[in-house]
């Protein structure tokens, strides 16, 4: 996968720090700026998989950029510019220590817990007799703690407030933003014959003001179903056709990997990685409604270095 970017080691003017996340590498410039590079790494079950996925970083960055622009009337966000197809530059905010997960349907990990007998999720009561992929009467917020390493943990609103992670007043504001963003995402998805099933939002604070940070409505942070097939598949109890990273998780589970100790990641052949890339590009074209234009990938690192350096120089 010579054309994928799985590692970065840049040195920009004014750089004060670098953080290598599971998928994104974040460079701090001075006190106020962050340069976020969406790499081609892919993670599942909180494990970074050994191979990169061609164009995945570009797909994620461009979808997030589009949705940040489409929701800035709801909540201010951190984005200032996208100097490269895989890069967003924005304001450095102090992140809240929780992620706001919102679900419109009973699926994924929520369904796995429900099937095992759970009738509350993050303090939210769930009705009896629900089926997999069934729509909730109204969307529910199921927050998680934001782990620096390892697994994010489910947590309830009351626990967040009791532990002092977020004040009640601010948490309730985050809830309002989360519902409004999900509503907007749902409306945009519906225009493209998609259902926004669930997603997560991250927020931060700067100068006493709340900002939406990181990514939004990408296949890494969200799950989409195809609207036209949903009802028929649901009534038959069949698997939904979906656009998300869930197909990667399923492939791993089928091959005996769930991120548990001693388990081996199955071999990711070039053919498999290219098939995942095609699914990501399909999602981009479906959700954005434009043809995906592959950026020049002859030397991705050099291109990114040049584009960021040019932007920072211009910004002064």
Per-residue HEC secondary structure of the chain comes to CCCCCCCCCCCCCCEEEEEECCCEEEEEECCCEEEEEECCCCEECCEECCCCCCCHHHHHHHHHHHHHHHCCCCCCECEEEEEECCEEEEECCEECCEEEEEEEECCHHHHHHHHCCCCEECCEECCCCCCCCCEEEEEEECCEECCCCCCCCECCHHHHHHCCCCCHHHHHHHHHHHHHHHHHHHHHHHHCCEEEEEEEEEEEEECCEEEEECCCCCCCCEEEEEHHHHHHHHHHCCCCCEECCHHHHHHHHHCCCCCCCCCCCCCCCHHHHHHHHHHHHHHHHHHHCCCCCCCCCCCHHHHHHHHHHHHHHHHC
∠ Cα 160 128 105 (to 5°):
65
Which residues are 198's β-sheet partners?
103, 223
Compute the average pLDDT of residues 214-243. 93
Owner of token pair 């010579």: 2
Same domain for 83 and 153, yes or no, is no
Cα gap 292→284, rounded to integer Å: 7
| Average pLDDT over the chain, rounded to an integer | 94
Q: Are residues 77 and 150 in the same domain?
A: no
pTM, full prediction: 0.90
The answer on 105 and 86 residing in a single domain is no
Q: Express each pLDDT in 93-128 by its tens digit.
A: 999 999 999 999 999 899 999 999 999 999 999 999
- How many domains is the chain partitioned into structurally? 2
Does residue 255 lie within any of the structural domains? Answer: no
- Assess whether 192 and 60 both reside in one domain: no
Lookup result for tokens 């504001």? 173
Summarised one tens digit per residue, pLDDT across range 286-312 is: 999 999 999 999 999 999 999 999 999
- Mean pLDDT of all residues in 38-63: 95
The answer to whether residue 234 is domain-embedded is yes
If asked whether residues 101 and 234 sit together in one domain, one would say: yes
Q: For residues 243 and 136, what is the distance between their CA atoms, to the nearest angstrom?
A: 20
Residues 105, 235 within the same domain: yes
pLDDT score for 43: 92
- pLDDT tier, 220 (very low <50, low <70, confident <90, very high otherwise): confident
Give residue 146's pLDDT: 83
Domain for residue 7, yes or no? no
pLDDT for 151: 67
Residue 263 lies in a domain: no
Same-domain pairing of 205 and 112: yes
Mean pLDDT calculated for residue range 26-53: 95
- Report the CATH number that the domain containing residue 167 is assigned in CATH: 3.30.470.20
Residue 260 lies in a domain: no
> In terms of domains, do 28 and 115 share one?
no
- Structural contact between residues 68 and 60, judged by C-beta atoms closer than 8 angstroms: no
C-alpha closest to that of 26 among 52, 34, 57: 34
In this model, does residue 1 exceed pLDDT 80? no
Distance of alpha carbon 303 from alpha carbon 305, whole angstroms? 6
pLDDT at residue 2, as a whole number: 60
Name every residue whose Cβ is closer than 8 Å to that of residue 247 and which is 6 or more positions away in sequence: 276, 279
Q: Which domain holds residue 143?
A: 95-243
């Amino acid at each position: 996968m010579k054309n994928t970017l799985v590692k970065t080691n840049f040195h920009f003017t004014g750089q004060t720090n670098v953080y290598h996340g599971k998928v994104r590498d974040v460079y701090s410039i001075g006190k106020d700026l962050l340069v976020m590079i969406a790499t081609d790494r892919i993670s599942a079950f909180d494990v970074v998989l050994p191979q990169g996925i061609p164009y995945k970083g570009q797909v994620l960055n461009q979808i997030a950029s589009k949705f940040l622009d489409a929701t800035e009337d709801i909540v201010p966000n951190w984005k200032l510019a996208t100097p490269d197809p895989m890069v967003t530059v924005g304001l450095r905010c102090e992140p809240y220590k929780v992620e706001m997960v919102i679900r419109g349907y009973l699926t994924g990990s929520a369904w796995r817990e429900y099937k095992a007998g759970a009738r509350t999720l993050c303090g939210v009561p769930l009705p009896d007799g629900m089926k997999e992929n069934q729509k909730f009467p109204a969307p529910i917020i199921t927050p998680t703690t934001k782990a620096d390493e390892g697994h994010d943990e489910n947590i309830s609103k009351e626990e967040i407030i009791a532990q002092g992670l977020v004040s009640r007043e601010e948490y309730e504001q985050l809830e309002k933003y989360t519902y409004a963003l999900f509503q907007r995402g749902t409306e945009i998805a519906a225009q493209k014959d998609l259902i926004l099933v669930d997603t997560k939002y991250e927020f931060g604070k700067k100068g006493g003001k709340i900002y939406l940070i990181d990514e939004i409505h990408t296949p890494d942070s969200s799950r989409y179903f195809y609207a036209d097939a949903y009802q028929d598949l649901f009534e038959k109890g069949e698997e939904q056709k979906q656009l998300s990273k869930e197909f990667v998780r399923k492939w791993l589970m089928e091959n005996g990997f769930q991120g548990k100790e001693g388990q081996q990641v199955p071999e990711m052949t070039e053919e498999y990685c290219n098939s995942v890339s095609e699914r990501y590009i399909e999602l981009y074209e479906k959700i954005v409604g434009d043809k995906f234009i592959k950026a020049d990938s002859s030397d991705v690192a050099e291109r990114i270095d040049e584009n960021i350096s040019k932007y920072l120089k211009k910004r002064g």
